[in-house]
């Protein structure tokens, strides 16, 4: 956690003053019992009213000073911790943005989201509490002991025994309950996952008439949860009684031995009262510290998770920045081999092919054959393991990332849209795109019709994740988004899966008619999607099993033939399929 302290660097003063003022408050607080003792020993014993009032005023002043110091401390702590949290989040967000797909895959995006939100919050709370309380509690304990020493060295021995015993009890119980609450949390998570499962599977569960079994499962888990809660509650409920007994035993000891000391005249009655008060202060401080430890433990766990992200450096960064060469080859793979992790098998092996500008390339193969992997190498989402990918005559590694990616329009498998208007979403590739350009892209992607039906047309507000659109509509909009600004290379990564065959066919036709100079890559499972391509790449388990047109492949490529057969596509003559 202390590694993250660098984000406090703009808040040095605040993070210094916070604890400082807190300590000042603690000092005032520690003085109170002494003043009170004096009030009794001098004021009461001597019947000195003036002294009593005098001490009383000192007490009130101490209170006001304490309040001021403490408010100042809280102010600085709040400023410092929120500033810290903000800088931490900004830095983390920026850092995540530099990560390449490889690193993003490693964490998984949901985990990155939690790290950026929850974990950062936890760390921020931790910092706030540390600034406010971490020094205060030990200081009060030590201070109370020191104040005790000024009264009576021998009686302070009671503190020196009681304080560690209290600390031991508190921390042992806290430690135990943290573990117990973790198991409780697991049961609770299970309850929530059963519920979620029963919501998504409501139809299936009812179709198989298994409601009663699901209820039994849930109830069993509920019962286990209850038993766990009870055990955890039993242990954590021990804290108050135990500390109560220890503190009272200490007070008994203080009164008894204090009495002996008063008898011999080494201390006074008021001082005995002061000692009892210090004992109570020690207890309160330790309890506060224990709660603080819980928060810090959580913050620490979060800090580790945040640091993991910071420690992950991107493996893909800008190249030296070259300009494309004048060439008619848009994309070339030269003996490319690629694996996701150095240890794993090659996802692509020795792939070579050339694509001319303006050509349409179909990529087909079974799931896991490496289709998506192959197209992901073109915008350099991943770096090849050996040899090179060449775009416009230059190695992709030599371009800056943005100059390379700006040439490419990509439609990912998962249709993702962002909160905002349709127009905002359409301007992702080209911020200055006009409505005309956007409408053209919409029309090619077969979405203009339904967009026109939406209220406000281009101003129609898309909800987060595009929830207010159907899967097919989302997919068509992601295609339009990639088309705006007319990229040189268009990559459709299995991006018509949510479309019915008719729409899919219209879409392909429009793309081939409207985008003459565009080099198009179509990744698909369906023969019908790729059969009209200028060139089809057939992938089989990471190996290029065939390159050619539909007719050529239907003659020569066994893998291709098998795919055709599975989809009832005629291969003998390579002709049209007309039902019967």
Partner 1 sequence: MENKKLSAAPLKSVLLYAKPYIAYLVLGLVFAVISVSLTLYAPILTGRGIDLIIEKGRVDFDALSPILIKLGIIAGIVALTQWLMSLCTNKVTYLTIRDIRNDAFKRLEHLPLRYIDSNPHGDILSRMISDMEQISDGLIMGFAQLFTGLVTIIGTLGFMLSVNVKITLIVVVITPLSLFVARFISKNTFLLFKDRSVTRGELTSVVEEMTGEQKTVAAFCHEQDAYDSFAEINERLRKISARAIFFSSLTNPSTRFINGLVYSFVGIFGAVSVISGSGFTVGQLSCFLTYANQYTKPFNEISGVITELQSAIACAKRVFELIDEPEEISDKDNAVLDDCKGNVKISDVSFSYTPDIPLIDDLNLDVKQGQRIAIVGPTGCGKTTIINLLMRFYDVTEGCVSVEGKDIRELTRNSLRSHYGMVLQETWLKSGTIYENIAYSKPDATREEVIAAAKAAHADSFIRRLPEGYDTVISDDGSNISAGQKQLLCIARVMLMVPPMLILDEATSSIDTMTEIRIQRAFAKLIKGRTSFIVAHRLSTIVESDCILVMDKGHIIEQGTHEQLLAKKGFYYELYMSQFCND
Question: Which 124-163 residues touch partner 1, going by CB under 8 A?
Answer: 128, 132
CA distance 284 to 495: 63
Three-state DSSP at 141 gives helix
Choose which of 15, 70, 373, 515 interacts with partner 1 (CB under 8 A): 70
200-209 residues labelled b (16+ CB within 10 A) or e (exposed): eeeeebeeee
Number of chain positions touching partner 1 (CB under 8 A): 166
| Burial of 212 from C-beta contacts in 10 A (0-12 / 13-18 / 19+) | exposed
420: left (phi > 0), else alpha (psi -120 to 50), else beta?
left
Q: Nearest distance from residue 23's CB to partner 1, in Å?
A: 14
Choose which of 59, 142, 161, 543 interacts with partner 1 (CB under 8 A): 59
Choose which of 3, 179, 240, 556 interacts with partner 1 (CB under 8 A): 240
Confirm if 4 and 306 have CB atoms less than 8 A apart.
yes
Choose which of 350, 421, 512, 525 interacts with partner 1 (CB under 8 A): 525
When the beta carbons of 6 and 335 are compared against partner 1, the nearer one is 6
Choose which of 24, 183, 229, 512 interacts with partner 1 (CB under 8 A): 229
Q: Nearest distance from residue 335's CB to partner 1, in Å?
A: 26
When the beta carbons of 337 and 528 are compared against partner 1, the nearer one is 528
When the beta carbons of 60 and 328 are compared against partner 1, the nearer one is 60
106 binds partner 1 (CB under 8 A): no
Nearest one of 452, 499, 505 to 471, comparing CA atoms: 499
Looking at 312-392, list the stretches that DSSP marks H as alpha helix, in order from N- to C-terminal side: 371-377
31 binds partner 1 (CB under 8 A): no
Instruction: Please give the order of strands across the beta sheet that includes 519-524.
Output: 408-411, 489-493, 519-524, 360-365, 535-540, 543-548
Nearest one of 220, 235, 267, 269 to 40, comparing CA atoms: 269
Q: Pairing between strand 360-365 and 408-411?
A: unpaired
Choose which of 164, 321, 368, 456 interacts with partner 1 (CB under 8 A): 368
Q: Nearest distance from residue 365's CB to partner 1, in Å?
A: 8
Residue 330 CB neighbour total at 10 angstroms? 26
When the beta carbons of 41 and 387 are compared against partner 1, the nearer one is 41
When the beta carbons of 307 and 525 are compared against partner 1, the nearer one is 525
341 binds partner 1 (CB under 8 A): no
When the beta carbons of 6 and 467 are compared against partner 1, the nearer one is 467
Choose which of 1, 142, 172, 201 interacts with partner 1 (CB under 8 A): 201
When the beta carbons of 273 and 282 are compared against partner 1, the nearer one is 273
272 binds partner 1 (CB under 8 A): yes
Q: What is the DSSP letter of 485?
A: T
What track of x and - describes contact with partner 1 for positions 313 through 332 (by CB under 8 A)?
--------------------
530 binds partner 1 (CB under 8 A): no
Cα–Cα distance list, 217 to 54, 182, 208, 403 (Å) = 71, 21, 16, 56
Confirm if 522 and 513 have CB atoms less than 8 A apart.
no
580 binds partner 1 (CB under 8 A): yes
When the beta carbons of 2 and 263 are compared against partner 1, the nearer one is 263
Three-state DSSP at 355 gives strand
308 binds partner 1 (CB under 8 A): no
45 binds partner 1 (CB under 8 A): yes
Q: Nearest distance from residue 546's CB to partner 1, in Å?
A: 14
168 binds partner 1 (CB under 8 A): no
297 binds partner 1 (CB under 8 A): no
291 binds partner 1 (CB under 8 A): no
When the beta carbons of 5 and 71 are compared against partner 1, the nearer one is 71
Structure tokens at 534: 């200028």
Residue-wise DSSP of 396-446 = GGGS-HHHHHTTEEEE-SS----SEEHHHHHTSS-TT--HHHHHHHHHHTT
CA distance 206 to 203: 5
Nearest one of 369, 360, 347, 365 to 560, comparing CA atoms: 365
Q: Nearest distance from residue 294's CB to partner 1, in Å?
A: 16
When the beta carbons of 311 and 500 are compared against partner 1, the nearer one is 500
What track of x and - describes contact with partner 1 for positions 391 through 420 (by CB under 8 A)?
----------xx--xx-x-x-x---x-xx-
Choose which of 8, 26, 30, 62 interacts with partner 1 (CB under 8 A): 62
């Amino acid at each position: 956690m202390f590694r993250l302290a660098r984000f406090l660097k703009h808040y040095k003063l605040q993070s210094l003053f916070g604890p400082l003022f807190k300590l000042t408050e603690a000092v005032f607080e520690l003085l109170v019992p002494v003043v009170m003792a004096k009030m009794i020993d001098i004021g009461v014993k001597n019947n000195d009213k003036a002294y009593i009032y005098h001490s009383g005023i000192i007490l009130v002043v101490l209170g006001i000073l304490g309040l001021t110091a403490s408010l100042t401390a809280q102010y600085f702590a709040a400023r410092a911790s929120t500033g810290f949290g903000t800088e931490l989040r900004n830095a983390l967000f920026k850092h995540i943005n530099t990560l390449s797909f490889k690193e993003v895959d490693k964490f998984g995006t949901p985990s990155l989201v939690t790290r950026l939100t929850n974990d950062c919050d936890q760390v921020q709370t931790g910092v706030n509490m540390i600034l406010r309380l971490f020094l205060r509690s030990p200081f009060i304990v030590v201070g109370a002991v020191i104040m005790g020493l000024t009264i009576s060295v021998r009686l302070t021995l009671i503190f020196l025994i009681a304080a560690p015993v209290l600390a031991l009890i508190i921390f042992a119980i806290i430690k135990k309950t943290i573990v117990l609450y973790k198991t409780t949390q697991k049961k609770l998570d299970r309850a929530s996952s059963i519920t979620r499962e029963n919501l998504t599977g409501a139809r299936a569960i009812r179709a198989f008439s298994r409601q009663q079994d699901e209820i039994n499962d849930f109830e069993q888990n509920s019962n286990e949860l209850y038993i766990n809660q009870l055990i955890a509650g039993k242990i954590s409920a021990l804290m108050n009684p135990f500390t109560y007994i220890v503190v009272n035993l200490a007070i008994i000891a203080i009164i008894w031995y204090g009495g002996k000391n008063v008898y011999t005249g080494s201390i006074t009655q008021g001082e005995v009262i002061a000692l009892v008060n210090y004992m109570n202060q020690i207890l309160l401080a330790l309890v506060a510290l224990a709660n603080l430890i819980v928060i810090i433990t959580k913050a620490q766990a979060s800090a580790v998770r945040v640091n993991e992200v910071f420690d992950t450096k991107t493996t893909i960064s800008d190249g030296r920045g070259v300009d494309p060469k004048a060439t008619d080859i848009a994309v070339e793979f030269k003996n490319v081999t690629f694996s996701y992790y150095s240890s794993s098998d090659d996802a692509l092996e020795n792939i070579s092919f050339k694509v001319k500008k303006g050509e349409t390339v179909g990529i087909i193969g079974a799931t896991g054959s490496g289709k998506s992997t192959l197209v992901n190498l073109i915008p350099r989402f991943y770096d090849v393991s050996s040899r090179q990918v060449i775009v416009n005559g230059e190695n992709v590694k030599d371009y800056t990332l943005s100059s390379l990616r700006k040439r490419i329009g990509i439609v990912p498998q998962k249709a993702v849209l962002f909160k905002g208007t349709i127009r905002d979403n359409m301007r992702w590739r080209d911020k200055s795109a006009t409505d005309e350009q956007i409408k053209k892209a919409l029309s090619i992607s077969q979405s203009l019709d339904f967009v026109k039906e939406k209220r406000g047309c281009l101003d129609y507000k898309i909800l987060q994740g595009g929830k207010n659109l159907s899967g097919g509509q989302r997919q068509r909009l992601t295609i339009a988004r990639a088309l705006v600004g007319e990229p040189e290379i268009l990559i459709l990564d299995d991006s018509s899966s949510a479309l019915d065959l008719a729409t899919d066919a219209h879409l392909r036709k429009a793309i081939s008619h409207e985008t003459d100079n565009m080099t198009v890559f179509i990744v698909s499972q369906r023969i019908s999607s790729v059969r009209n391509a200028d060139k089809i790449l057939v992938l089989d388990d990471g190996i290029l099993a065939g390159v050619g047109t539909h007719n050529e492949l239907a003659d020569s490529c066994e893998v291709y033939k098998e795919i055709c057969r599975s989809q009832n596509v005629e291969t003998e003559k390579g002709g049209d399929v007309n039902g019967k």
